[in-house]
Amino acid sequence: MIRRLRRCGHAPGASSPEDQAVVDEFRAMLTALRNPEPWTPGTGNARDIAVRIGPFVERAQTRPGDDHGPDLIAVTLVHPSTPHAGRHLGYTGRDWLRCPTTAIIGFWQPGYTLLTHAANGLHLPDDIGMAPAHYALYIEARKRDNSRDGHTLLRLGPYTRPQHAQQDGDRLTAALDGQETTLAPGYRITMRFGPFCVSDHQLFTDPYETDVVALLSTAVAGVRP
């Protein structure tokens, strides 16, 4: 799995800069493996994490939602060092994934880079052992006085496919067009797209069994300044 370490030259003496860079990278990998930085659900969501994918380790970003107690979180895999190269190695276009927390080694450290598919010249496999995450739409009312006061009016989910959420999102965006600040006095009505929060499932409305635009109208009608 790990790239073979080879010296660029055969002469005795000091290592070349290229050799030294490889040695330093290898040492950083050993340090990261020996000293993982622990991660626990609900902490450090702004930082990337290291996730086991078979015998490899990959860099991932956490997404709040799609949780099931402490067992699952939503993540998206990212290229370990060069984001623009991810498209060529299968790191993009996978949407969000349901990641077992048992697969998480800890917070991401640069030393893990050597252990990724990308560092070994490999494309991410089609089956990485994680199911697609569920999706949701959130309709929110925010005060227009520049304060953060507000609340969620409507939660729609789970969507099992992102394109279904996008279609309903487009319908809701069209319904809100030009009326975001007039539908509810003192509020701005907004919509956002995100992972489905399994632990809050009782707060969501099944979008496959109703007219989402009608639900929006009902939810907005209940807003009070």
SS (H, E, C) the chain: CCCCCCCCCCCCCCCCHHHHHHHHHHHHHHHHHHCCCCCCCCCCCCCCEEEEECCEEEEEEEECCCCECECEEEEEEECCCCHHHHHHHCCCCCCCEEEEHHHEEEECCHHHHHHCCHHHCCCCCCCCCCCECCEEEEEEEEECCCCCCEEEEEEEEEECCHHHHHHHHHHHHHHHCCCCCCCCCCEEEEEEEEECCHHHHHHCECHHHCCHHHHHHHHHHCCCC
CA dihedral 65, 66, 70, 72 (to 10 degrees): -130
pLDDT of residue 103: 95
Span 94-124, pLDDT tens digits: 778 989 999 999 999 999 999 999 988 899 9
Is 60 within 8 Å of 77 (Cβ atoms)?
A: yes
pLDDT of residue 94: 73
pLDDT of residue 146: 61
pLDDT of residue 84: 61
Q: 135: closest CA among 93, 98, 104?
A: 98
The span from the CA of 114 to the CA of 29, in Å, is 7
pLDDT of residue 178: 87
pLDDT along the chain (225 residues), means of 10: 47 64 75 87 78 94 79 89 70 83 94 91 89 90 73 90 89 91 87 87 90 92 73
Is 188 within 8 Å of 141 (Cβ atoms)?
A: yes
201 torsion bin: left (phi>0), alpha (psi -120 to 50), beta (else): alpha
